[in-house]
Amino acid sequence: MKMSMGHIGRGLLGLAAAGAALIAGGAAFAGQPKPWEMTLQEAATPVMENIVWFHNFLLVLITVITLFVLALLVIVVVKFNARTNPVPSRTTHNTLIEVAWTLIPVLILVGIAVPSFRLLFLQLDIPKADLTVKVTGKQWYWSYSYPDNGKFEFDSLLVADKQPRLLGVDNEMVVPVNKIIRVQTTGADVIHAFAVPAFGIKIDSIPGRLNETWFKATRTGMYYGQCSELCGKDHAFMPIAVRVVSDQEFAEWVEGAKKKFATNPGSTFASAGGAVAQ
């Protein structure tokens, strides 16, 4: 009995450790893709929360429609085959059915359109920003400037041996939590696309044009994205890393960034380029 209780105790301890590991693993993967993930990334902004809701709503709706159509097909196959119904009905122009198959799809489309337009308006109507960050896509890295905080600029390049793989960079974009961030983006050479899934943002960076989007991160942490427009041979190696911090940490970072990047803004390219090459 004592041995069995000991085995049970060790088993419970193992389950507890496994649960803690899963929780820690989930926290470690916040803001980035997870192994074998089939769902959208966990939302970190109000826009992404709406995107997730709309996605789940459409999934339920299309599942119901598919099951309904399947049920109709089964009924037709079973009830109206040549063996059970050798003399087919010649009834035509059923008013109720014709009204139903016209009206019901219209109502479904309206039910999809209303939340869809609300979501588009939320994404495209940029509220009054607390901070503006200009993002320039280059072959093949990103440059960030903060016109509201001293007009310093720095480059952000992939670091080959930094985790997470193909997402770690030398200099992250840093923003404060619970603040509206306006992102103005353009391309220096070819078309790129600035995309961070956890924020629900994806917008083209086009040479000669300034596009805008926005986000409001509600939790601190690291969030990752990638260029989402095929832009050349190193398209897969220009990640986006956004570090969301408290207001105090952001103010401290700004003061340090002014000193680090304002004097020689191009120096980060050379040092990070060497790290990637290695």
Residue 179: what pLDDT? 97
> Is residue 2 assigned to a domain?
no
3-state secondary structure of 57: helix
> Is residue 65 assigned to a domain?
yes
pLDDT tens for each residue of the chain, 278 residues long: 344 444 444 443 443 333 333 333 444 556 888 888 888 999 999 999 999 999 999 999 999 999 999 999 999 899 888 888 888 877 788 889 899 999 999 999 999 999 999 999 999 999 999 999 999 999 999 999 999 988 789 999 999 888 899 999 999 999 999 999 999 999 999 999 999 999 999 999 999 999 999 999 999 999 999 999 999 999 999 999 999 999 999 999 999 999 898 755 444 443 334 334 33
Q: Are 191 and 115 in a shared domain?
A: no
Q: Are 166 and 262 in a shared domain?
A: yes
Tally of domains in the chain: 2
Token output for 261: 């990047």
Tell me the residue range of the domain where 52 lies.
Answer: 46-80+95-124
Q: Are 173 and 254 in a shared domain?
A: yes
- Cα 199 to the center of its chain, rounded Å: 5
Q: Please tell me the distance from the alpha carbon of residue 115 to that of residue 238, in angstroms, as a whole number.
A: 33
Q: In a 10 Å sphere around its CB, with 0-12 CB exposed, 13-18 middle and 19+ buried, how is residue 11 labelled?
A: exposed
- Cα 46 to the center of its chain, rounded Å: 12
**Residue given tokens 């600035």 in the structure block:** 194
Amino acid identity, position 66: T
Type and span of the H or E element at 69: helix 46-79
Q: Are 118 and 140 in a shared domain?
A: no
Q: Are 100 and 181 in a shared domain?
A: no
Q: Are 177 and 255 in a shared domain?
A: yes
On whether the CB atoms of residues 63 and 57 are closer than 8 A, the answer is no
CATH number at residue 194: 2.60.40.420
In this structure, the strands spanning 211-215 and 221-227 are: unpaired
3-state secondary structure of 243: strand
Residue 9: what pLDDT? 44
Q: Please tell me the distance from the alpha carbon of residue 153 to that of residue 188, in angstroms, as a whole number.
A: 14
> Is residue 244 assigned to a domain?
yes
Token output for 99: 């009204």
3-state secondary structure of 212: strand
Q: Are 187 and 114 in a shared domain?
A: no
Residue 34: what pLDDT? 86
Q: Are 268 and 147 in a shared domain?
A: yes
Q: Please tell me the distance from the alpha carbon of residue 266 to that of residue 273, in angstroms, as a whole number.
A: 11
Residue 166, Cβ neighbours under 10 Å: how many?
A: 14
Q: Are 241 and 200 in a shared domain?
A: yes
Residue 32: what pLDDT? 86
Q: Are 107 and 181 in a shared domain?
A: no
Q: Please tell me the distance from the alpha carbon of residue 231 to that of residue 234, in angstroms, as a whole number.
A: 8
Token output for 142: 């990103």
Amino acid identity, position 131: L
Q: 171-193 in b/e burial notation, b at 16+ Cβ within 10 A?
A: bbbbbbbeebbbbbbbbeebebb
Q: Are 231 and 246 in a shared domain?
A: yes
Q: Please tell me the distance from the alpha carbon of residue 24 to that of residue 39, in angstroms, as a whole number.
A: 19
